[in-house]
Amino acid sequence: MKLIKAVSFIIQFGLIGLGMAALYLIWQSDHDGSELINFFSPSQLMQHSNDSAAGNTSPVTSYADAVASSFNSVVTIYTTKQVKHKTHPLLNDPIFNQLFGEQLERRQRDNTEINLGSGVIISSDGYIITNQHVVTGADEILVSLSDGRGSQAVLVGEDRETDIAILHIPINGLDEIEVADTQPIRVGDVVLAIGNPLNVGQTVTMGIISATGRNRIGLNTFENFIQTDAAINPGNSGGALVNARGQLIGINTAIFSQEVGAQGIGFAIPISIALDIKQQIIDNGKVSRGWIGVEGTQITAKAAMETGNPNIRGALIVGVFIDSPADMAGIRSGDIMVAVNGEPVDNIRDLLEVITLYQPGEIIEITVFRGPQKMTFSMRATERPQ
Mean pLDDT, residues 279-306: 90
**pLDDT higher than 50, residue 43:** no
Cα–chain-centroid distance for residue 118?
A: 16
**pLDDT higher than 80, residue 171:** yes
Residue 321 near residue 353, CB atoms below 8 Å? no
Mean pLDDT, residues 111-134: 92
Q: What are phi and psi of 235, to 5 degrees?
A: 110, -25
Minimum mean pLDDT range among 113-127, 251-265, 327-341: 251-265
Q: What percent of the chain has pLDDT over 70?
A: 76
Where residue 7 falls among pLDDT bands split at 50, 70, 90?
Answer: very low
Q: Which residues of 97-128 are buried (b: 16+ CB within 10 A; e: fewer)?
A: eeeebeeeeeeeeeeeeebbbbbbbbeeebbb
Q: pTM above 0.75?
A: no
Alpha-carbon span 203 to 212, nearest angstrom? 24
Pairing type for strands 336-340 and 343-344 reads: antiparallel
Helix (H) or strand (E) holding 96: helix 94-107
Minimum mean pLDDT range among 47-51, 166-170, 188-192: 47-51
Q: Which residues pair with 370 in a beta bridge?
A: 373
Q: Give me the pLDDT at residue 40, please.
A: 37
Mean pLDDT, residues 351-375: 91
Q: Which residues are catalytic?
A: 133, 163, 237
Which amino acid would we find at residue 7? V
Q: Give me the pLDDT at residue 36, please.
A: 38
Coil/strand/helix, residue 33: helix
Runs of H (alpha helix) within the chain: 2-29, 33-39, 42-54, 64-70, 94-107, 132-135, 271-284, 301-307, 325-329, 348-356
Q: Give me the pLDDT at residue 38, please.
A: 42
- Residue of higher predicted confidence among 126 and 94: 126
Mean pLDDT, residues 220-229: 85
